[in-house]
Chains A and B, each alone.
Chain A
């Protein structure tokens, strides 16, 4: 079983160190949550794992299936099975959801066989239709320009639809709950839960405990000031919801957790 292993990861943006040595192991088949106050580096971790060019890795490694993915381009990481559900999905005007996903599927096929002619259109339509039904997405969605004029909820559902279609092995959900009302959150969470299984490891990055009522984590990590400072079971999330982050901060400041 493949797993994502993050070791002592250090990342800077424009010379400022944001991640100061993150350690985390996410096995396939498990759901881990990363919680923490704003500005502690949660999204930096998400973008770095996907290979955003603005984030400079200054130390550490990220192993997937034994390979250090930090050496790979974002598209190579994606084709390897890593998926990032964006906090702020980017609009691509003029490119329909269907056209975009077909291109993404074809990129995967061509990476395996450069002469691949691409997925036949009827076959792709069938695949997309099945995924949309599973996630209860309106079929008209496929013909709309990607994220262009989408509501917050629609954008997040489009992210989950992409995840369902591309079938990653490791999925990072970056604040997928932000900007969603309770109904949209429930729908998106149901989508994630429908994809849960032994072949998928999920990293849920969130500021609030709310989403974890719907997507039950196996492990909860607390991130503070660029490090994972506390890890525990699902109860940890509830504890944080009730008591806030101050007690974690005090523990860090008193030196009782490795900093």
Chain B
């Protein structure tokens, strides 16, 4: 119906001129003093891997679309104890909306510090929900059981870095058969210019356990760059059920790298929700491992990029057993000259019959300078499977806009309404109303800068 004017996009591709400098981290920063033999060995091995692995470049397949050459890697430094005292304080609105609603426990991580709370009845049932430093001291046997068991440090430069140097993190352990009704909340607050925030999140649900857990990364936007590298390791035991929501609202100065994997046991269920609105450059590896027969995993993502933000998701759905089901839907909107990459793969292992895998990526590209790359993939090594995928990169449907305008809603407002609706089904999966509203508001703010 509407005619499109031909568009010419000229894109300046920066070739890597200068190679990226190495980080200024050193072996003495690997935190092992007074810690268990297992942790010591794990971190020292990780450090060895970190040193052996080269910095990724645009020539590496997984990094082809994410250029690190502007990152001042040699200038990032680790926070000292109580570093938060001299940094931007945690704004009330990041915790208040959650506190208003009942939660079962909360972990707030600040540079060089942590605050932890957990409902007594959960602690009495053997639930552990605490920051990693506390767990290192109080629960070394648990860490020996769960640390480094899902993501191997040597999987990548940043995975190794995070494993070796994690300053803090969150540990959630739910014993066999324990059902946590109230959602849990944790937040990594990462202010500070040139500060390197390195985190390690471990979630372990024993057989038949269930929990809902929201983990957030946040910081104010500051002038000079900052850095985050994170590991997320998740184990969902046989028949266990986890809803895990991960929300990222880093300041737009943060270089952010995460390696995440969830392993789901027989008849286990995982509902994994990703949200990203912040960061300067983000590269995220997220992998769903359906290892147990009859296991299910759903991965939902929403993102909204503006300015010069760059967001690169690498998702993998591995069907390693029979009768497994995966369902991935990532939805995003882009404005200004931001860029998003989603590269997804469904892998079906030999013998993983009766597998049902689905992946879809929907992008709304709202400005001429923005760009979305959507790259689905299938690798199927079994018979009798059903795997489908879909990817769309589009604009707002002008018929939708006309329909809303015909009801008196001005054009830009109509477009904003359509975009907020585009995200709504995934937003509704965030269990805390306060958190959901905060993200809706952030998206509304980004949209407010959009004028068609």
Residues of A within 8 A of B (CB): 50-54, 73-75, 77-79, 83-84, 86, 89-95, 99-100, 103-104, 107-108, 111, 145, 162, 166
Contacts and interface: CB of A to CB of B under 8 A. Distances in A.
A94 B424 contact: yes
Contact of A100 (B411, B417, B422): B417
Given A54-B1, A54-B2, A95-B420, A90 B407 contact: no
Given A92-B400, A92-B418, A104-B408, 5 more contacts: A52-B402, A54-B2, A74-B405, A92-B417, A104-B404
B409 interface: yes
Contacts of B399: 90
Contacts of A99: 417
Which of B399, B403, B408, B421 is packed against the most chain A CB atoms within 10 Å?
Answer: B408
A87 to B, nearest CB: 12
Contact of B407 (A91, A93, A104): A104
Contacts of B274: none
A206 to B, nearest CB: 19
Contacts of A104: 404, 407-409
Contacts of A95: 417-418, 420-421, 424
A69 to B, nearest CB: 13
A103 B403 CA distance: 13
Contacts of A162: 407
B373 interface: no
B417 A75 contact: no
A111 B413 CA distance: 13
A103 B417 contact: yes
A90 B403 contact: yes
Contacts of B413: 103, 107
A107 B408 contact: yes
Contacts of A145: 421, 424
A75 B408 contact: yes
Contacts of B2: 53-54
Which of A83, A84, A90, A111 is packed against the most chain B CB atoms within 10 Å?
Answer: A90
Interface string B391-410: 00000011110111111111
A9 B261 CA distance: 64
Contact of A93 (B403, B410, B414, B425): B425
Nearest to A47: B402
Interface string B292-311: 00000000000000000000
A92 B407 contact: no
Interface of B: 1-2, 397-400, 402-411, 413-414, 417-418, 420-425
A228 B417 CA distance: 38
B432 to A, nearest CB: 19
Given A53-B398, A53-B402, A54-B2, A92 B421 contact: yes
Contact of B409 (A52, A84, A107): A107
Given A75-B409, A78-B406, A166-B408, A94 B423 contact: yes
A89 B406 CA distance: 11
A131 to B, nearest CB: 14
Contact of A108 (B397, B400, B408, B414): B408
A51 B408 CA distance: 12
Nearest to B1: A54
B402 A94 contact: no
Given A54-B2, A94-B422, A145-B421, A89 B411 contact: no
B400 A75 contact: no
A111 B399 CA distance: 23
B330 to A, nearest CB: 15
Which of A53, A75, A145 is packed against the most chain B CB atoms within 10 Å?
Answer: A75
Given A53-B402, A79-B408, A107-B413, A94 B421 contact: yes
Contact of A94 (B1, B409, B420): B420
B411 A75 contact: yes
Contact of B405 (A73, A83, A100): A73
Contacts of B404: 92, 100, 104
B365 to A, nearest CB: 18
A92 B2 CA distance: 19
8 contacts: A74-B405, A75-B405, A90-B403, A103-B413, A107-B408, A107-B410, A107-B413, A166-B407
B409 A90 contact: no
A71 to B, nearest CB: 15
A94 B419 CA distance: 9
